[in-house]
Structure 1
């Protein structure tokens, strides 16, 4: 990842992630996390990170260690069923905090690490994006200096967004020197006009604040706030896929998030506030059964390829006790699922329509709903290009279970943290941390 609206604030030392004492247990699942006064000295090159995704279906905490060669070792994963979240956004603080605590305790037990700071993944229909360029004319000299680059960046970042919104990401796409595009490192080049091309992601301040404050009250410190698909893309999309052009869709329970790359540059991103829960709701209404039973039916028997079902093939409908309530045609269930899936993916297509002709690597589907039978075929029908179902890239550690699509975002948060730390930002970690959190939590609008 590249530059942000404010300097990023990863810690090169992470006093927030401490090896736990042998035999130490925090709190039982569901209990309160005690305040710890214990401190340990870590080696300066400690690179342990924790990522937290508060999803509509599950809450997941991942602890990972970044190695010098760029590899990531997952030390522990803790998850809990999610309550108090709707369409990716927190609607009940107490329920969410209980679920986060459950996931946190499990992650700590499995990783043997006490977690104090997290990279927090967020989503929601309020999150929007745009591309903007900052144009800076060099005053005297013709060799581009660092100050010239910073000036172009500031101009690019000075874009008008709603007063109620806050910047989440300001990602450098490219520099343009005297009209020459795709310049990655302009410092030292000869030129008169320097432009900085940025992808800017922003969301409603109050909703971002809610997520931060909910986590802080646990208590955990938030090291950074990351738009979920930006994190997931770091482990789903290869450098080659980004260069060829790729659209990654993170199809979750409450939202369908996406991020699109062209020529290695992030070009579009956003969130459609529809997901797997809406498919479940449609099944429940169509069959007049409880949502819990509809979810199990969708997962265990469902498919979105209703054309392939034999005519007249029936499916028994049972209640929660196993009592048979009746039968329906299997094709009817599949058609209900197909229609909603197609609607959701079509909404993503409408938002990226202008870019589809430049996606040489095609579409990568990830997220829990991407595992639904036939969803890749429906995506091919909707978008008309190559579709790949993908989980996170292979990482070492206890990962055999977690290399599936539903863990792309939380594992991506670890990779995101690793990339930010490697950028050697200008400000010290404490100054960066203070500035970033002040920006996100301040009541003053930008």
Structure 2
């Protein structure tokens, strides 16, 4: 079986194609990176622009092997997301009081019967703990246990409806008529955690920080359970904007300067180092590299301060034994880990996609996967495999997206595979 994961980011569309073997191994066959457009803060804002990049990516996958388009999963994110805990309970109706999968499904459905603000829709309902007859169960496997009452604390992740609507607008632009999405959609911060964090880190207590271009997402874990998930409206793109203003240069020049000369800790940079830049008026000037890094440091400190505020609000500031694991393109800059240790008062390390669960078809593909920018795409693949191994069907009650009426993706793929 072939699987494809697509991460729609603010700066790039990243796709990973893999084959799920009969023995359960997952072999990555191809990776694709293309510049994206029309996506801001992780959300599709201008569908007309987004379609172009998405069509190019899916067209390249079709050219590689059109069978790879039959099972596809997209990441969904954005600042308009909510994380809530809902508690529900159901009675076990059988004389022997044995708990079955249908009871778990019922209690999860009950947990979703909450009043959300207008315009919000649940995309994930994830059991966090089960309680049988008022006794909390150690672990998540309750099938076969006995009890008169089953309760569950369930994580509900919801998104604002505009995220869905713009996905559908992309479909309309492709087909010229209304279509509905029924493919797999997975919350990108959860996918990143699936790819990067080990079970040991989740058990001990850790925060995963994914610094993207438009947003910084975080998930906090302890005792193997997710405690919170947030998407903050600031990312490495803000650093580029700061540099463009501070250096009075174009955004393109500022991005190049950030990549080639940037560092998150200005004190580690010599004041004698100079960088030649082209100012907005076309004049070539020399600027102190230390000054450049001072601009960068202010913004990176702000990002970690916002993360720490989230941790402080939940009583976990400086109290996560496995520390901070940092991924995403914004984590590539020198000094990010040292600054994270200072601001968060935690150990810090870079988070790469799991090499244990992802095999590759060759060393070149291996190098492409061994990249913090691929954390979400790889996590989407692994999460999709998890769902397939648990039964395959995509059900809202089991923490996945409820299918709608029609599949625009099926039509899209049919059109792609029928084309020359």
TM range (shorter): 0.7 to 0.9
1:328-347 correspondence runs (5 A): 328-347=287-306
**Equivalent in 186, 194, 211 of residue 142 of structure 2:** 186
Per-residue deviation, 1:145: 2.5
1:319-341 deviation line (CA, Å, top 9, x unaligned) = 699x7621222111101101111
Cα distance between partner residues in 1 of 2:65 and 2:406: 32
Please report how far the alpha carbon of residue 87 of structure 1 lies from its aligned counterpart in structure 2 after TM superposition.
Answer: 1.2
Contact 2:183-2:407 within 8 A present in 1 as well: no
Any idea what SS the aligned residue of 2:107 has? helix
Q: What is the deviation of 1:348?
A: 2.1
Greater displacement, 271-280 / 261-270: 261-270
- Unpaired runs of 5+ in structure 1? 1-46, 442-446
- TM-score w.r.t. structure 1 length? 0.80
Do the aligned residues in 1 keep the contact of 2:2 with 2:71 (CA within 8 Å)? no
List structure 1 runs of 4+ shifted beyond 6 angstroms.
426-429
Deviation for aligned residue 1:121: 0.9
CA shift, 1:440, in A, is 12
User: Which residue in the other structure is 2:87 paired with?
Assistant: 133
Whole-angstrom distance in 1 between the partners of 2:346 and 2:58 = 40
C-alpha change, 1:171 and 1:252, in structure 2 (3 Å) is same
Measured in 2, the distance between the counterparts of 1:179 and 1:326 equals 69
Count residues in correspondence.
Answer: 392
- Cα 1:359–1:110 change in 2 (3 A) is farther
Shift of 1:153: 2.1
Match of 2:320 in 1: 359
Alignment of 1:19-34 (within 5 A): none
Aligned to 1:211: 167
1:411: how far off?
1.6
- 1:349 equivalenced with 2:334 (yes/no): no
User: Does the CA-based 8 Å contact 2:185-2:400 persist in structure 1?
Assistant: no
Alignment of 1:27-426 (within 5 A): 47-110=1-64, 113=67, 115-116=69-70, 118-138=72-92, 141=95, 143-146=97-100, 147-177=102-132, 178-215=134-171, 217-218=173-174, 222-318=182-278, 325-353=284-312, 354-356=315-317, 358-394=319-355, 395=358, 396-397=360-361, 398-424=365-391
Structure 1 residue 108, shift from structure 2 partner? 3.5
Cα pair distance change 1:197/1:390, threshold 3 Å: same
Secondary structure at the aligned position of 2:366 is classed as coil
Are residues 384 and 74 of structure 1, via their aligned partners in 2, closer, same or farther at CA, if it must alter by over 3 Å? same
8 Å contact from structure 2 (residues 73, 380) kept in 1: yes
Displacement of 1:278 in angstroms is 0.6
Contact 2:394 2:403 survives alignment (8 Å): no
- Assess if the C-alpha contact under 8 Å between 1:205 and 1:440 holds in 2: no
Shift of 1:408: 0.9
Structure 1 vs Structure 2 CA RMSD = 2.9
C-alpha distance in 2 between matches for 1:93 and 1:171: 30
For each residue in 1:150-201, what CA deviation from the matched residue of structure 2 results, as whole angstroms up to 9, or x when unmatched?
3322222222221211111111112112222434222332334321121110
TM-score w.r.t. length of structure 2: 0.85
- Paired with 1:244 and 1:374, the residues of 2 have a C-alpha distance of 25
Q: Is the 8 A contact 1:75 1:111 kept in 2?
A: no
Q: Deviations over 1:210-264 (max 9, x none)?
A: 1244156546965111111111111111122212222111110011112222111
Q: Unpaired runs of 5+ in structure 2? A: 409-420
CA–CA distance in 1 between the matches of 2:331 and 2:277? 24
CA contact (8 A) 1:208 1:440 kept: no
The answer (yes or no) to whether the contact 1:209–1:440 under 8 Å persists in 2 is: no
Moved more, 170-179 or 267-276: 170-179
Distance 1:319 1:426 in 2: 56
